[in-house]
Structure 1
Amino acid sequence: MERQQLERLLSGGDDTSSAALSALRAGASYVIWDGTTSCESLATVYGRRLRHTLRKGIETSGLARAVQRLDVYGRPVRLGQIRAADGSWVFMLFLDQDGGTLVACTGVRQAQPDPPRPDTR
């Protein structure tokens, strides 16, 4: 999928889609995988991730909404991923079977390594 086509899919969406679009326009890498996956199985997997992130206090964007959308969509979806250029966020994209419509989008903040401490010897 061309970057411009992906930008069109993300425009005019919710806050999470807008954040993914901003990351993409700022040089994020992306991939749209071939093949489809059952939306029911993805709703189960991402429901577990939602509970995990809530327990651990991990910042997410649109995860609960993505789980709800996948739960009711009822058709196979294609997966995509956008990784922010600075590594701060990863967005998962759930597209319809032909990749022409965005079904849901979620993002998770990535843990940043602690900066090295100065040697105090």
Structure 2
Amino acid sequence: MTRDELARMLGEQTRACGPARDALTAGGTFIVWDGLLPADCLAHTYRTRLRITQRRRQPTLALASAVNLLCAAAEEPLRIGRIDAADKPWTFMLFLNAAATSVLACAGVTGSGPPAEPATGAK
């Protein structure tokens, strides 16, 4: 997948898609892993991350919306991707369909250090 292909997939799925697209086109790094995980498994993981970020008062963008979209996707197999902004402390998590041809949801989170690796099963 190219940078331009991924940028075109980032529409208006969540409020984080525009900033993620901007980070990507401004030279941010990106990766889309090969492994597939069921959306409901990802929803559980990211619901937990949402609670942790809220407890820490860590800024997020559309994380709650992404969790809702993941819940609605039920057992649909999804790929995980990530965009790391080049000039800002934002990391954007992407949730793509199994063929990696469309983005279901996108969420952003700020952090102070390298983002965690994806859930087991994704590459």
TM-score bin (small chain)? 0.7 to 0.9
Secondary structure of the corresponding residue to residue 23 of structure 1: helix
Partners of 1:87 and 1:110 within 8 A in 2: no
Gaps of 5+ in 1: 113-121
TM-score (norm 1): 0.87
How many residues are matched? 112
2:11 and 2:65 map into 1 onto residues whose CA distance is 17
Aligned residue number for residue 98 of structure 1: 99
Partners of 2:13 and 2:104 within 8 A in 1: no
1:85 and 1:106 map into 2 onto residues whose CA distance is 17
1:49 and 1:107 map into 2 onto residues whose CA distance is 12
**Taking every aligned residue pair, what percent have the same amino acid on both sides?**
39
Superposition CA RMSD, Å: 1.3
Aligned residue number for residue 29 of structure 1: 29
1:41-99 alpha-carbon deviations (Å, 9 max, x no partner): 11000000001111110000010001000001020100000001125100000001101
Gaps of 5+ in 2: 114-123
Between the two structures, name the one with larger relative contact order (CA 8 Å, sep ≥ 6): 2
Aligned residue number for residue 70 of structure 1: 70
| Amino acid paired to 1:54 | Q
Residue 15 of structure 1: CA displacement? 2.5
Aligned residue number for residue 116 of structure 2: none
| Amino acid paired to 2:47 | G
1:111 and 1:78 map into 2 onto residues whose CA distance is 25
